[in-house]
């Protein structure tokens, strides 16, 4: 098998339609095709390896082919999606458009048409993937388990997208348990998502931005050069959380994007304005939290509450599970090259029109 063959993931529960699609793409498109018959298997395949194109039916057992697309886009950013369905209703077409589907074909579809569009979309998808560079993510917490509780699902999604993760924990958490044990737990939790852990030893419950915390965070920010940071918010009953928020504001003043996650000690003033789809990543978050065996007696570590919290915040979106964030700063560069400004000399040399 040649390395440059396009890899296509097909989800189709009708055996005859699945066989037709496989034969057309393999025989006439020279593509490497993987066929699954249920929506859940799509996410498993996308998590296991890269694909150049997803070809999906809509009406599938359990969940529809459209419902899984938010999770698919998180697992495979930029992956083109072609919907091939016998149900060509306007409602389905509009829903597909809203979910960033690249092509919507109504059965019956000829083999030549299927292969033509599959080649075009797979080529575009591969180019997009080549052009994407990993996002550098820094998550800053006051204590071991703070980051995982507030943004564990988000970090899991970043990891699935191939982004670079660093977790900065500022204290050993000695007030809430043995510092050595909690350090080992933090390492195990970070390993779940492939994050690098930077674990400092500032005094638990006595964090002070002016007592070296700002300088320490600045050092990590300089080393990591993150594109975005997740940290504590200002609306929090815990003094360490508020101190970290203040310190990050100063230390990360040049970082383009900064968001604040929810903590168990967040007050009712926590007012998120960004809702991140973590559908499919809550179980990974729970594996991170499970590493903190010394904290398993805490109510907020219970899997049922973690799942319920993610489900609650999903009410503000179309997703199934969500982690909420307060936006401090979210800036971006579109990448367009501005036209050159005329030089002063050129302007001086340009003859003026006579009145």
**Does residue 265 share a domain with residue 160?**
yes
pLDDT of residue 274: 95
Which among 72, 99, 131 is the end of a domain?
131
What whole-number distance in Å separates Cα of residue 280 and Cα of residue 190?
A: 18
Question: Chain-centre distance of CA 303, in angstroms?
Answer: 21
Domain count for the chain, please give it: 2
351-to-175, 343, 344, 346, 354 alpha-carbon distances in Å: 76, 15, 13, 10, 9
Q: Quote the pLDDT of residue 40.
A: 79
Q: What is the CATH number of the domain that holds 85?
A: 3.40.50.2300
Contact status, residue 277 vs residue 74, Cβ threshold 8 Å: yes
How many whole angstroms separate alpha carbon 308 and alpha carbon 72? 22
Judgement on whether residues 188 and 85 belong to the same structural domain of the protein: no
Asked if residue 127 and residue 26 are part of one domain, the reply reads: yes
For residue 122, tell me if it sits in a domain: yes
Q: Which of 264, 259, 199, 203 shows the shortest CA–CA distance to 233?
A: 259
Q: Which residues of the chain have pLDDT under 70?
A: 1-3, 131-132, 332-355
For residue range 292-308, list pLDDT tens digits in order.
999 999 999 999 999 99
What domain range is 157 assigned to?
136-330
Q: Which residues contact 212 (CB under 8 A, 6 or more apart)?
A: 202
**Distances, alpha carbon 298 to alpha carbons 22, 160, 264, 326, in Å:** 50, 28, 10, 25
Shared domain check, 106 and 143: no
Quick one: CA dihedral 98, 78, 73, 278, positive or negative? Answer: negative
Q: Which residues contact 220 (CB under 8 A, 6 or more apart)?
A: 138, 166, 168, 198
Same domain as 165, residue 103: no
Pairing status of strand 53-56 against strand 32-36: unpaired
Q: In this prediction, what percent of the chain has a pLDDT beyond 90?
A: 67
Contact 14, 38 (CB under 8 A): no
Q: How far apart are CA 141 and CA 16, in angstroms?
A: 53
Same domain for 177 and 60, yes or no, is: no
Query: What DSSP designation does 59 have?
Result: S
Residue-level pLDDT at 331: 79
* pTM over the 0.75 mark: no
143 closest CA partner among 283, 325, 294, 311 = 294
Using only C-alpha atoms, the chain has a radius of gyration, in whole angstroms, of: 24
| Residue 1 confidence (pLDDT) | 42
The three-class DSSP label of residue 303 is helix
228: domain CATH number? 3.40.50.10320
Q: Residue 345 domain-assigned?
A: no
For residue 270, give every residue at least 6 positions away whose Cβ sits within 8 Å of its Cβ, in sequence order, or none: 233, 235, 236, 262, 324, 326
Q: Among 131, 150, 183, identify where a domain stops.
A: 131
Structure tokens at 109: 């579809």
Asked, as a colleague might, if the bond just before 108 is cis with ω within 30 of 0, I would say yes
Give the model confidence (pLDDT) of 152-208 as tens digits: 999 998 988 889 999 999 999 889 889 999 999 999 999 999 999 999 999 999 999
Calpha distance 143→118 (Å, rounded):
49
**Which pLDDT does position 167 carry in this prediction?**
98
Which ranges of 227-302 would DSSP assign to H, the alpha helix?
239-251, 282-290
């Amino acid at each position: 098998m040649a390395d440059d063959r396009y890899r296509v993931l097909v989800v189709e529960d009708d055996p005859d339609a699945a066989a037709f699609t496989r034969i057309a793409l393999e025989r006439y498109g020279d593509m490497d095709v993987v066929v699954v018959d249920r929506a859940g298997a799509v996410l498993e395949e996308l998590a296991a390896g890269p694909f150049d194109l997803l070809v999906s039916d809509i009406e599938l057992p359990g969940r529809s082919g459209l419902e899984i697309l938010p999770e698919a886009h998180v697992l495979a950013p930029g992956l083109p999606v072609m919907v091939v369905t016998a149900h060509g209703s306007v409602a389905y077409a509009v829903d597909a458009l809203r979910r960033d589907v690249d092509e919507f074909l109504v059965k019956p579809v000829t083999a030549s048409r299927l292969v033509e569009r599959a080649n075009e979309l797979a080529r575009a998808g591969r180019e997009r993937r080549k052009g994407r560079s990993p996002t550098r993510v820094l998550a800053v917490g006051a204590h071991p388990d703070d980051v995982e509780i507030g943004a564990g699902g988000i970090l899991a999604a970043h990891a699935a997208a191939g982004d670079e993760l660093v977790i900065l924990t500022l204290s050993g958490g000695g007030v809430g348990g043995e510092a050595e044990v909690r350090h080992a737990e933090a390492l195990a939790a970070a390993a779940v998502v492939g994050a690098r852990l930077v674990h400092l030893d500032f005094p638990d419950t006595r964090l002070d931005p002016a007592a070296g915390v700002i300088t320490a965070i600045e050092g990590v920010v300089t080393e990591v050069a993150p594109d975005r940071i997740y940290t504590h918010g200002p609306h929090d009953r815990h003094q360490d959380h508020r101190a970290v928020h203040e310190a990050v504001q100063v230390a990360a003043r040049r970082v383009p994007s900064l968001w604040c996650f929810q903590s168990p000690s967040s007050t009712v003033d926590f007012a998120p304005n960004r809702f991140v789809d973590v559908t499919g990543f809550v179980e990974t978050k729970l594996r991170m939290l499970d590493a903190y065996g010394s904290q398993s007696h805490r109510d907020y570590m219970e899997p049922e509450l973690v799942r319920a919290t993610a489900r609650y915040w999903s009410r503000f979106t179309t997703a199934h599970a969500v982690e909420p964030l307060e936006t401090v700063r979210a800036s971006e560069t579109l990448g367009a090259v501005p036209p050159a400004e005329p030089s002063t000399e050129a302007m001086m040399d340009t003859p003026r029109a006579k009145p």
